[in-house]
Structure 1
Amino acid sequence: MLPHCSLLLFLCMVQLLSPSSALPFEQKGFWDFAMDSMDSGGIMTMMRDEEEGSAVEEIPSPDTHMCPFGCHCQRSVVQCSSSGLTEVPKNIPRDTKFLDLQNNRITELKEDDFKGLTNLYGLSLRNNLISKVHPRAFVPLKHMQKLYFSKNLLTTIPKNLPASLVEMRIHENRIKKVAAGAFSGLGTMNCIEMGANPIHNSGFEPGAFKGLKLNYLRISEAKLTGVPKDSQRVLHESIIWDHNEIQAVELGDLSRYSRLYPCLTFSRLGLGYNHIRNIENGSLSYLPRLRELHLDNNRLTRVPKGLPDMKYLQVVYLHSNNINQVGVDDFCPRGFGMKRTFYNGISLFANPVNYWEVQPATFRCVSDRLAIQFGNYKK
């Protein structure tokens, strides 16, 4: 038994430590709330469960990355494709490097949708319903290099694209106009795919491609009736204008691309699936280092002039035209050693020319007879 005075002192101390005499609760963190909600029995239960390894692990630490609902997160990749999303999910981990949002029903990109994602390298928004993009939606993405925006409802190029962008695929939208300076500040851009948009020649404002130094530009399946004139001197490797309504290539059309030099192993001009009837003599001379020329599925009646002067040309697609004769000097120069590289592919099938009427010397600068395709050659 304790003395009377000692018992009184003990009861006073218990009273001071009881919740009724504590100061007002001030929550400073998650653990403040968790501990305050437990009574003495709860604390004892937590301590017992902790010994058994089943309590604290169930309550996430404040620093634990949470994966957005319906998404899968692993090694800086957040995959939210085909999840029925109508907006960009919240709480995307800040260390995310690739964010996959394709095949959803997202209609708009808001200003803070990508806030804090400074490490993002690639973003896929393919196959959504996006028609509106806030002018500052992409501002936080300081290091993004790849943007996949195809199969949406965009009518213009989004503003303030990251200066770090290297590749952008924005085909199959509803873009009718490319404003001046639409790609300003994108000095590192390497590839733009913007086909299957209803763009006419008048849809490119002067200066639309100013400042770009691309290796690849494709504007296929659009409404082009002629070679675009504003994208001059922005390309180094490939120009693709196939599946359009181009009817002719005039002398001045390709003079703007006289600096088309191969970045890797080839340079390519793609004009297949158009309505081209005529290529003006001398037009191809502005592309002296061209290696691939695609003119298939057009309305040509003869082999274009100037091919023998193209020392590096290796592949020529002329099939599915209206060519009815081939001259002995249509492909090869007369002088020995004039051509630096031999042809390794010439296609002439699906033309009204009879192969037995073409003289063998016509293909004297072709590497192998199998490189010539008339469509009726049998090994």
Structure 2
Amino acid sequence: MMAGFRDLLMLCDDLVKPLIPLYQKYSLVSPRTFPEREQPSLLVGINYLSGTKHQPIFYLNTVQRWFAVIFSTSPEHSIFVKKKKKTFGINAMLCAAVKLLPLLFISILGSTSCPDRCRCFHSSDLVDCQSRELTRIAQDVPEGTWLLDFSRNRLTEVQSNAFIGLWSLRILLLSNNSIETLEPQSLSSLQFLEILDLSFNRLQQLPGDFSQSLGSLLELRLRHNLLTHLSPPAMDKLENLRKLDLSHNALQTMDAGLLNALGHLRYLNLEGNKLDALEDHLLTRQQRLEVLHLGHNNISLIESEALAPLRSLNLLGLRGNRLEHVHFRVFLGLRASSTTYLQLALNPWTCDCELHRVFSKIQHVRYLKVEDYKEIVCEGPGPLAGASLALMDSQLCVAETSAVLVITITVVMGVICALVKAKRNSSSKQSVSESDAQALEK
């Protein structure tokens, strides 16, 4: 059987490599990122027919140079490689025989093939492979597919170049499998992908090139995996990400700079992990973050500047952690235009006058509201265990004040007694001295 469009891409890719210096790395990048002023003028034929007028089919991005590989219906049937201001022509026979060009037209316009055991809705460019007991990603997915659903199968890995040629793909669903490994370049060709769902799998880590082709991604779902650590390179190309769900993994720490590239993030869910502290460096670039879920971790410490950058936060979830005390200044940086709701119940709070003062100050700040204040229960000290903070807080400082008053009175009485005793001793000594003096005179 003759090669398909994806095979042609791979073949042409290999033939273009000699034009690129060996010391330079390159990768396929989306047409969106190709500088408008750099686009070549020979954009006819297949480019028009494929619905991408004035945009080449794919690009090669090097460290310092742009390359655009263009299939053209010019008389020479050439592939043009743009290198800065120079243009190189390569006879199309190097990539495929001229007789294969009609097949190339068909593949770009949209193949009518459908993966075995899947359902294809060609009118809406949807491919449904859900719950088919599949163990590998099918290789004959139509190139024009917009949504691809491989959820609820038996996948254990995503192989390299599994989605090559699927330039139109916007939504990829891979949840509820048993995926343990994402091979290098497994997500290449997904420059336009907007939603990726890898939830309910067995991933323990993400490859270093995970985000390399995901510059357009808006939503990433990784909940209910086995992730123990994330490295910054795996996330550093997700500059357009709006929603990140990492809940119910096994993350214990978050590296400094891990989220630095995610400046547009609006929603971050870290619930159900093993984080023990919220450190100052983690959220430095998340000024646009609106929702932060940190519930059901092991957090016992929130550093003083950890929340300071979050000027747009509307909801902060801290339920079910190990907080005993918290400083009021931790929340001072939360100055969203609307109210910031705090969820603080199910923590082992030590109910004392200091805690009462913190919650009292929070309640008097216009833009802060403890959403579950009536659910907060004291863990200690002993006599207050199980008591509601809302019912006890007004008495906490009264008891403390009474104790301080008793101690003060006791100290004052002790001082008075000591002074009286000293006075008496002084008087007794003076009497003895006078008696002795009189005796000597006689």
**TM-score after normalising by structure 1:** 0.65
Partners of 1:140 and 1:97 in 2: how far apart? 13
Q: Are the counterparts in 2 of residues 181 and 210 from structure 1 also a CA contact under 8 Å?
A: no
> CA 1:72 to 1:249, structure 2 compared with 1: closer, same or farther past 3 Å?
same
Does 1:239 pair with 2:275?
no
RMSD, aligned α-carbons:
2.7
2:120 corresponds to which of 73, 76, 98:
73
Matched, 1:217 2:268: yes
Whether the 8 Å CA contact 2:311–2:333 is kept in 1: the answer is: no
Per-residue CA distance 1:184-233 (angstroms, 9 max, x = gap) = 121111111001111112xx223211221211111111111111444222
Change in CA separation of 1:356 and 1:217 when aligned onto 2, cut-off 3 Å: closer
Counterpart position of 2:427:
none
Equivalent positions of 1:103-142 (< 5 A) are 103-142=152-191
**CA separation in 1, counterparts of 2:110 and 2:266?**
43
Cα distance in structure 2, aligned partners of 1:321 and 1:131: 39
Q: 1:104 to 1:142 in 2, by over 3 A?
A: same
Contact 1:101 1:125 in 2 (8 A): yes
Per-residue deviation at 1:78? 0.6
Deviation at 1:358, TM superposition (A): 6.7
1:175 equivalent to 2:230? Answer no
Deviates more, 1:275-284 or 1:164-173: 275-284
Q: Which residue of 1 aligns with 2:217?
A: 165
- In structure 1, how many angstroms separate the alpha carbons of the residues matched to 2:316 and 2:390? 27
Please tell me whether the aligned partners of residues 299 and 321 of structure 1 are also in contact (alpha carbons under 8 angstroms): no
Partner SS for 2:232: coil
- Mapping of 1:289-304 within 5 angstroms? 289=336, 291-300=340-349, 301=351, 302-303=355-356, 304=358
Contact between 2:139 and 2:162, CA under 8 Å: does it hold in 1? Answer: yes
Residue ranges of structure 2 left out of the alignment (5+ in a row): 1-98, 101-108, 380-385, 396-442
- Measured after TM superposition, the shift of residue 319 of structure 1 is 4.2
Structure 1 letter corresponding to 2:252: H
More helix by share: 2
The answer to whether the 8 A contact 2:248-2:270 is kept is: yes
Look up the equivalent residue of 1:197 and give its one-letter code: N
Letter matched to residue 146 of structure 1: I
What secondary structure is seen at the aligned counterpart in 2 of 1:279?
A: coil
- 1:318 matched to 2:373? The reply is yes
Shift of 1:129: 1.2
* Residues 181 and 209, structure 1, Cα contact 8 Å, conserved in 2: no
Does residue 278 (structure 1) correspond to residue 322 (structure 2)? The answer is no
| Aligned amino acid, residue 222 of structure 1 | N
Who is 1:268 aligned against?
Answer: 315
Aligned to 1:5: none
Aligned pair 1:288/2:329, yes or no? no
- For 2:174 and 2:279, the matched residues in 1 are separated by 28
Q: Aligned pair 1:258/2:313, yes or no?
A: no
Q: Please tell me the residue identity of whatever aligns with 2:285.
A: V
**Is residue 273–residue 296 contact of structure 2 (8 Å, CA) maintained in 1?**
yes
| Counterpart AA for 2:125 | S
How far apart are the structure 1 equivalents of 2:267 and 2:370? 18
- Corresponding residue to 2:252 among 188, 200, 208: 200
- Which amino acid in 2 is paired with 1:318? Y
Q: Please report how far the alpha carbon of residue 321 of structure 1 lies from its aligned counterpart in structure 2 after TM superposition.
A: 3.0
Q: Quick one: structure 1 residues 184 and 298, their matched pair in 2 at CA, closer, same or farther if it must change by over 3 Å?
A: same
What per-residue deviation string (whole Å, max 9, x for no partner) do you get for residues 109-134 of structure 1? 11221011011001111011111112
Partner of 1:181, secondary structure, is helix
Q: How does 1:359-374 map to 2 (within 5 A)?
A: none
Q: Does 1:184 align with 2:231?
A: no
Q: 1:234 Cα deviation (Å)?
A: 3.1
Judged with a 3 Å threshold, the aligned counterparts in structure 2 of structure 1 residues 281 and 149 are, in CA distance, closer, same or farther, namely same
Q: Secondary structure at the residue paired with 2:332?
A: helix
Return the letter of the residue paired with 2:260: K
> Per the alignment, do residues 292 and 130 of structure 1 end up closer, same or farther by CA in structure 2, a change over 3 Å counting?
same
Residues 218, 357 of structure 1: alpha-carbon distance in 2 compared, 3 angstrom cutoff? closer
Alignment of 1:17-32 (within 5 A): none
Say if 2:282 is the partner of 1:226: no
- SS of residue paired to 1:283: helix
**C-alpha contact 2:198 2:221 (8 A) present in aligned 1:** yes
The counterpart of 1:352, out of the listed 373, 377, 388, is 388
In percent, how many aligned pairs have the same letter?
25
2:310 alignment partner AA: L
Matched-pair contact (CA < 8 Å) for 2:226–2:249: yes
2 CA distance for matches of 1:308 and 1:352?
A: 16
Q: How does 1:20-99 map to 2 (within 5 A)?
A: 65-74=112-121, 75-99=124-148
| Mean CA deviation greater in 275-284 or 299-308 | 299-308
**1:187·1:212 contact (CA, 8 Å) conserved in 2?**
yes
Hey, what's the Cα distance between the residues in 1 that align with 2:273 and 2:221? 15
- Cα separation, 2, equivalents of 1:98 and 1:63: 14
Q: Which amino acid is 1:234 matched to?
A: R
Of 281-290 and 110-119, the range deviating more from structure 2: 281-290
Q: Secondary structure at the match of 2:275?
A: coil
Amino acid at match of 1:296: A
- Inter-partner Cα distance in structure 2 for 1:281 and 1:63: 59
Give 1:284 deviation, angstroms. Answer: 1.1
Q: Cα distance 1:227–1:323, how it changes in 2: closer, same or farther (>3 A)?
A: same
| Alpha carbons of structure 1 residues 258 and 103: separation in structure 2 relative to 1, 3 Å | same
